[in-house]
A and B are shown apart, each in its own frame.
Chain A
Amino acid sequence: MDRISTAQAATMPVEFKLNGKTVVGRSDETLIETAKHYGIDIPHLCYKEGMRPDGNCRACVVEIKGERVLAPSCCRYPKDGMEVTTDNPRSVASQKMVLELLLSDIPEKSYTLDSELDHWAKELKVGKPRFESRHQPKADLSHAAIAVNLDACIQCTRCLRACREEQVNDVIGYAHRGEHSKIVFDFDDPMGDSTCVACGECVQACPTGALMPAREVGRIVADKTVDSVCPYCGVGCLLTYNVKGNKILWVQGREGPANNNRLCVKGRYGFDYVQHKHRLTRPLIRKPGMKKHKDFVVDPDNWSQVFREASWEEALDFAAKGLRDIRDTYGKKALAGFGSAKGTNEEAYLFQ
Chain B
Amino acid sequence: METLHWVREILEKGADWFASQGRNGRKGLRSFSVSGRVKKPGVHLAPAGITAKELIAEYCGGMLEGQKFYGYLPGGASGGILPASMADIPLDFDTLNQYGCFIGSAAIVIFSDRDRAATAARNLTKFFSEESCGQCTPCRVGTAKTLKLIEKKKWDQPLLKELSQAMMDASICGLGQAAPNPVLSVMKYFPNEIT
Contacts and interface: CB of A to CB of B under 8 A. Distances in A.
Given A55-B172, A58-B137, A104-B145, A178 B132 contact: yes
Nearest to B163: A97
B166 interface: yes
Nearest to A91: B169
B142 A101 contact: yes
Contacts of A155: 134, 137, 140
B131 interface: yes
B140 A134 contact: no
Contacts of B163: 97, 101
Contacts of A179: 129, 132, 134, 140-141, 143-144
A105 to B, nearest CB: 6
B136 interface: yes
Given A94-B170, A132-B148, A179-B141, A58 B130 contact: no
Interface string A147-170: 000000011000000000000000
B169 A178 contact: no
Given A131-B145, A155-B140, A98 B170 contact: yes
A154 B137 CA distance: 8
A132 B163 CA distance: 13
Contacts of B136: 55-58
B86 interface: no
Contacts of B165: 93-94, 97
Given A58-B170, A69-B170, A90-B169, A178 B129 contact: yes
A101 B171 CA distance: 13
Interface residues of B, number: 30
Interface string A119-147: 00000000000111010000000000000
Given A57-B136, A179-B140, A69 B169 contact: yes
A176 interface: yes
A98 B137 contact: yes
Contacts of B12: none
Given A58-B137, A176-B134, A97 B170 contact: yes
Nearest to B148: A132
A181 B169 contact: no
Interface string B152-195: 00001001001101101111100001000000000000000000
Interface string B119-150: 00000000001111111111011111100110
A181 to B, nearest CB: 3
A203 interface: no
A70 B170 CA distance: 6
A98 B169 contact: no
Interface in B93-136: 129-136
- Closest 10 A-B residue pairs measured CB to CB? A181-B134, A97-B166, A178-B132, A179-B144, A94-B170, A101-B141, A58-B170, A94-B166, A131-B145, A70-B169
Interface of B: 129-138, 140-145, 148-149, 156, 159, 162-163, 165-166, 168-172, 177
Interface of A: 55-59, 61, 69-70, 90, 93-94, 97-98, 101-102, 104-105, 130-132, 134, 154-155, 174, 176-181
12 contacts: A59-B137, A70-B169, A90-B169, A93-B169, A94-B169, A101-B142, A105-B141, A132-B148, A154-B137, A177-B133, A178-B131, A178-B133
Given A97-B170, A179-B140, 17 more contacts: A57-B136, A69-B169, A69-B171, A94-B169, A97-B163, A101-B138, A102-B141, A104-B141, A104-B145, A131-B145, A178-B130, A178-B133, A179-B129, A179-B134, A179-B143, A181-B133, A181-B134
